[in-house]
Chains A and B, each alone.
Chain A
Amino acid sequence: DQQVKQNSPSLSVQEGRISILNCDYTNSMFDYFLWYKKYPAEGPTFLISISSIKDKNEDGRFTVFLNKSAKHLSLHIVPSQPGDSAVYFCAASNSGYALNFGKGTSLLVTP
């Protein structure tokens, strides 16, 4: 049973605009959330994270928002750049050990 869901398999955005990637989860015990970015033929790389005690975390062009009541988080990329084109995975943890990953959203940023 998928506990972390990314319902949009793909997203296309123009360069310079905002990219918004969404993630929903079902397990209310999750206390930490992460976003990973993955290029083809490479391992995922950590992008940004947020603890459940916060509702926003920002790092440069990347901001993650958490809405615990809706069990929803989103990743905002502003402004989007062609190099941001990749697959983005949302992940959640309730133990500090294993991460539960979503199926990923493929982002394409067009010039």
Chain B
Amino acid sequence: DVKVTQSSRYLVKRTGEKVFLECVQDMDHENMFWYRQDPGLGLRLIYFSYDVKMKEKGDIPEGYSVSREKKERFSLILESASTNQTSMYLCASSSIRWQDSYEQYFGPGTRLTVT
């Protein structure tokens, strides 16, 4: 079974703090993704990575950066947290094998509150 883990389930941070969200997958997947989920807005893609040290902006990258130094780990960084970044953050991974390339496996999510 694919397992995607996220470092925290719940996190409370203050405005202006630098925040690190960590994601680890154990299926040797090439692709990794960060989404945020907000009520009425669905899942929106922040960044994704298709290889170590490679990254691509998603739909809403402003205020975020990412790091992928190892294949199994993908970090999301909030450089200076703001209250409008209060959200549920979801990490996902997928394989590049053709028959598997579309299905993404999600972690349990991190509920971040910025006060």
Contact = CB atoms under 8 A, between A and B. Distances in A.
B109 A43 contact: yes
Interface stretch (A57-65, A76-84, A95-103): A95-103
B76 interface: no
Give the dominant DSSP class at A's interface. loop
B45 A32 contact: no
Interface in B1-18: 4, 9
Residue of A32, A89, A96, A104 most packed against chain B (CB within 10 A):
A96
Residue of B31, B102, B103, B105 most packed against chain A (CB within 10 A):
B102
B61 interface: no
Contacts, number: 58
Task: Rank and list the top 9 A-B pairs by shortest CB-CB distance, nearest first.
Answer: A43-B106, A103-B42, A96-B101, A101-B43, A32-B102, A44-B106, A101-B42, A43-B108, A93-B102
26 contacts: A32-B102, A34-B103, A41-B108, A41-B109, A42-B109, A43-B92, A43-B106, A44-B90, A44-B106, A45-B106, A46-B104, A46-B105, A49-B102, A96-B96, A96-B102, A97-B31, A97-B50, A97-B56, A98-B33, A98-B48, A98-B56, A98-B58, A99-B45, A101-B42, A101-B43, A103-B41
Interface of B: 4, 9, 31, 33, 35, 40-45, 48, 50, 56, 58, 90, 92, 94, 96, 98, 101-109, 111
